[in-house]
Amino acid sequence: MKVILDNGHGVDTHGKRSPDGMFLEYAYTRKITKLVLTKLKRKGIEAVRLVPEENDILLRDRVKRANDICKSGGKGTILVSIHCNAMGDGEEWMPARGWSVYVAKTASEQSCRLATCLAKRAISKNVIVRYESSNQLYWKSNLYICKKTECPAVLVENFFMDNREDVDFMLSQEGMDCSTEIIVEGIMDYINTPDTGK
């Protein structure tokens, strides 16, 4: 089993911050990624950071890195891309709140199962969870990292960086613990859930 952790965006990516500039997505996702990686390794799970750099890496280069790891890691490899959501252009506070997870429109059964495990863990934390329907606890979208990666892949949106309440939560210790635990516990649930092989 190998887990690829992709921390979203870089220090040089335009926008990707709260309207007051107090929250920076690149910094937050790197912090959460490091926490997830440490906790997984303590559980005996091999985990790697896809983007150790501070600057943004092109999606095609991220995918190439991920697919190289998939080939060497074998069938058990999965990818979790860690991001934060936004409703607007970053200039003003917006009303949308909550946590969500995405898979590709052509996602495999394993990708959907991983997304479901993560969403169920988020629901168990009593946070606002956004999903398409009660029968599908994730969103389907043509996100490049999910669509092009040759292993089960999901993209997590850890709340909204342009919502005051979500930002306050994410910057708190409780919020950082919550974001980390959702991913770690969801991955462990995926690992421990029988694969139907579909």
Q: Give tens-digit pLDDT for 15-53.
A: 799 999 999 999 999 999 999 999 999 999 999 999 999
Q: Is residue 197's pLDDT more than 60?
A: no
Which is the CATH superfamily of the domain at 2-192?
Zn-dependent exopeptidases (3.40.630.40)
pLDDT at 64: 96
Per residue in 113-157, pLDDT tens?
Answer: 999 999 999 999 999 999 988 889 999 999 999 999 999 999 999
* Nearest in space to 179 (alpha carbons), one of 99, 117, 74: 99
Mean pLDDT of the chain: 94
Asked if residues 147 and 139 have their Cβ atoms less than 8 Å apart, the reply is no
Which of 186 and 75 is assigned the larger pLDDT?
186
* Nearest in space to 32 (alpha carbons), one of 189, 191, 183, 190: 183
Classify residue 75 as exposed, middle or buried by CB count within 10 Å of its CB (0-12, 13-18, 19+).
Answer: exposed
Read off the pTM.
Answer: 0.94
pLDDT at 198: 46
pLDDT at 134: 83
Sorted by sequence, the CB contacts under 8 Å of residue 71 that are 6+ apart come out as 150
